[in-house]
Amino acid sequence: MVLDAIAEFDRLGRDAFLEEYGYRRAIGYFLVHGGRRYDSKAIAGVAYRGVRGRPLRPDEFSGGNATVARVLGDLGFEVTKPGQAVTVPSVEDLLQKVDSLKPAVSPTTGAQKRHQPLTLLWAIGRAAQGEPRLTTWESTRRELGQLIEEFGLEEDRPSPEFPVLWLYHHGLWDLPGHTDVPRASGSPAQRWMKEQRPDSGLRTWAHEIVTDQEDVRAQIVVRLLGAYFHGVDHNTLLARIGLNPVAIRGGSSTPGRVESVVERVIRDSLLAEQIKRAHDYHCQICGDRLALQQGFYAEGAHIRPLGKPHNGPDEPDNLLCLCPNHHVLFDRGAIAIQADLRVMDTTSETPLDLLRLAPNHEISPEHLAYHRKVIAERS
């Protein structure tokens, strides 16, 4: 009953769900499920429909720790209290799960089967195009089956039931409203999917990451292509799932390249994240730190740009932690950093503050000199 209410919340969206049943936004108590927060009183009231035949109105019961939080907690759900932080899986968690897929191995060639990576690529393509997170089993079965036939191994059967169920137990896939989900093995799994016909898709937290963070999305795509799709035309596969090869600009731990319509550098977003954490997300030029609902935000800026003609390295000493405004100004040469680490406004030749430093982040004088000479002076 609670899972059904959560599934309806996901399908309608928060505002529409609350408006449908007359609830206000929660302030202190939230149900946490799949890395996402839900208004606990509204979920509990709508879930009560399974007991009483209709949802409870907001004025028929009180929320809070002694009622809603206790009942949901007794049912095994996590409910946060006012001021309590919510632990949401991170980008690193997502990348770790992507790197720890366990595809079956072909008994004839020894190659890893492509059902799991194709399922993830398909979902990422949907996210990039703004498609809904969840889709019907009929659509999932049809579209994944076609992808497996086109890009799987020769002997692969188009059986999307197995990757969906495996990814569910791996923590990346969501089957809202279902808790008795079988393991991805044999005819019982196929029979369960045929009988239940569940809506499904990426978990909410994973979907939000690949939807909002292009660099992370691209990095995952490049990792999957490199690990599982040798001998496959990557451009054809990307186009098939709705990902434009030209848009890929995320990537690996060392500067690499993807053969696509346009050669683009693969950036290591994990390295940039480490630099941002070293500065606690404070801009090294102005000191500002942007606070968003999901945490603090800053950007990793390369001093000597990656790609031709600059060919800068993707290394810590070639990265700065900047706010979006100063990132743009620095990339365009409107700001430069002198040898003494004094920040200069090159448009007015006005000296600004010293560059803010962190003990565990060294910056290359050579890259700063290159930026002054090649980027700033020619702007």
pLDDT at 269: 55
* 34 vs 24: CA distance, rounded Å: 22
pLDDT at 83: 64
What letter does residue 374 receive in the DSSP assignment?
A: I
pLDDT at 89: 75
pLDDT at 88: 65
What letter does residue 58 receive in the DSSP assignment?
A: G
pLDDT in tens, 201-242: 999 889 988 988 877 888 788 788 878 988 888 888 988 998
* 274 vs 358: CA distance, rounded Å: 12
At residue 57, the 3 state secondary structure works out as coil
* 131 vs 123: CA distance, rounded Å: 9
CB contact set of 230 (below 8 Å; sequence gap of 6+): none
Burial status of residue 300 (CB atoms within 10 A of its CB: 0-12, 13-18, 19 or more): buried
* 243 vs 123: CA distance, rounded Å: 11
Cβ 268 vs Cβ 253: under 8 Å: yes
DSSP 176-242: TT---PPPS-HHHHHHHHHHH---BEE-HHHHHHHHH-HHHHHHHHHHHHHHH-TTS-HHHHHHHTT
* 261 vs 247: CA distance, rounded Å: 10
Torsion on CA atoms 212, 216, 218, 219, rounded to nearest 10 = -170
CB contact set of 262 (below 8 Å; sequence gap of 6+): 245, 246
- Cα 371 to chain centroid distance, Å, stands at 32
CB contact set of 96 (below 8 Å; sequence gap of 6+): none
pLDDT at 173: 94
Per-residue pLDDT of the chain (379 residues; tens, 9 = 90+): 888 999 899 888 888 999 999 999 888 888 888 767 889 999 999 999 988 889 999 999 988 888 888 888 888 788 887 766 556 677 888 988 998 999 999 888 888 999 999 999 999 999 989 999 999 999 999 999 999 999 999 888 888 999 999 999 998 999 987 878 999 988 999 999 999 999 999 998 899 889 888 778 887 887 888 789 888 888 889 889 988 653 333 333 344 444 443 233 344 456 787 788 889 899 999 999 998 876 788 889 999 988 778 888 888 899 999 999 999 999 999 999 999 999 999 988 899 999 999 887 889 999 999 999 999 887 6
pLDDT at 42: 94
pTM, entire model: 0.53
* 290 vs 278: CA distance, rounded Å: 15
